[in-house]
Amino acid sequence: MERARTVAIIEGLLAVLVWGGSFIATKVALADASPVTVVWVRFTMGVVVLGVAAAVRRQFAAVSPRELATFALLGLIGITFHQWLQSNALVTSQASTSGWLVATTPIFMAVLGRLVLGERLSWLRAVGIALAALGVLLVVSKDDPATLLAGRFGAPGDVLILLSAPNWALFSVLSRGALKRHPATRMMFYVMTLGWLFTSVLFFTGPGFSEIGRITPRGWSALAFLGIACSGLAYIAWYDALQHMPASQVGALLYLEPLVAMTVAAVVLSEPILLPTVVGGAVILLGVWLVNRRPGEPGTSPVIVVTHAGEE
C-alpha cells in the first residue's frame, strides 16, 4: 500500500512538472508554426498515445449516441476552444505569466458553482476570490503598474489566457458526470479525438500542411513534448495518481505548476523573473488555497483535480 502511494506521488509530480513546461514548449513551437498547426499536430500525437493506453488497458468500449454527444461537447470546449485560446494567447503572453493566470481556474470553478449550482460562498472563499483577483492584477502589470492605471490589461495574450481559466472550469464541471461512468483514459481518448476532429476543420481550412515542412528540429522537439508527454503520458500518470491518493492531496501538487513554468521560462526563454510577478503569483495561490480549503481541513477541494487547466 505504501509503495503504491509512493508511486502515485511520483506520477503526480511528474505530471505537474511536464504540464509546467507545456507553456514554454508551446512558445517554442509557435516560433515555427501558427497556433492552429501547433494544436493540430500535438493532439494528433496525444490521440495516438491515449489510444494505445486505452487499448493496452482494455478500456475501449462503444458508447451511446448521447454519451458521444457529451464527449463531443467536452472536446469542443476543452480541446478545440481551450487550446485555441491558450495557443493564440502565447503568441504575445509570456509563458510564466500564463502559468500564473491559469492557476486561477479553481477561483472560477467556485464562482461557477455559486452562480450555476447555488453552492454556498463563505466569507473566507470570497476573500480568496478577491485576493486571487488582486494577484492577477499584479502579475499582468509585470513591472509597470501604470499600464493598469491607464486601462490596459497587460499583453493581448494575457486576456485570452485568463479567459481560458473559466472555460476550463466549465469543462471540469461538465466532465464530472462522464468520469463517474467511464474510466478516465477512455473518456479522455474520446474527448481528445473529437476535439482533434473539430480542430482538423480549422487546420485544413487554414494553413493545412503548408507549415509542416517549415518546422525546425527544435520545433518538432517541442511538439513531441506537447503531444506525447503533455497530452498523453501526463494525463495517464495524473489519473493513476488519483486512483491511489485522495483527490485533495493530488490536487495540492498543482500549486507547483506555475512555479515550474516560471523557472523553466526563465531558463529556456530567458523571461525575466519580476518581483510583481512573484508577489502576484503568491497572492493568487493564497487566494486559490482559501477558496478550496475545507473548514477544519488543511487540504484542497477535489474540484480542482478533475483535469488540468494548463495542459488539457
| Higher-confidence position of 89 and 106 | 89
How is 191-231 classified by DSSP, letter by letter? HHHHHHHHHHHHHHTTTGGGGGGG--HHHHHHHHIIIIIII
Is position 311 within any domain?
no
Is position 310 within any domain?
no
Q: Return the pLDDT at 213.
A: 93
* 170 confidence band (pLDDT: 50, 70, 90): confident
3-state secondary structure of 300: strand
Is position 181 within any domain?
yes
Count up the domains in the chain and report the number: 1
Q: Return the pLDDT at 135.
A: 87
Is position 151 within any domain?
yes
The letter for the amino acid at 27 is: K
Query: How many residues in total does the chain contain?
Result: 312
Residue 269 and residue 24: Cα distance in Å, rounded? 7
3-state secondary structure of 293: strand
pLDDT digits (tens, 9 = 90+) for 190-208: 999 999 999 999 999 999 9
3-state secondary structure of 269: coil
- The grid cell for 77 is 470546449
Percent of the chain beyond pLDDT 90? Answer: 42
Q: What is the mean pLDDT of the chain?
A: 85
User: Exposed e or buried b for every residue in 207-238, given b needs 16+ CB within 10 A?
Assistant: beeebeeebeeebeebbbbbbbbbbbbbbbbb
pLDDT digits (tens, 9 = 90+) for 208-260: 999 999 999 999 999 999 999 999 998 888 888 877 777 666 777 778 889 99
What is the span of the domain harbouring residue 76? 2-305
pTM: 0.85
Q: Return the pLDDT at 151.
A: 54
Is position 312 within any domain?
no
DSSP category for residue 91: T
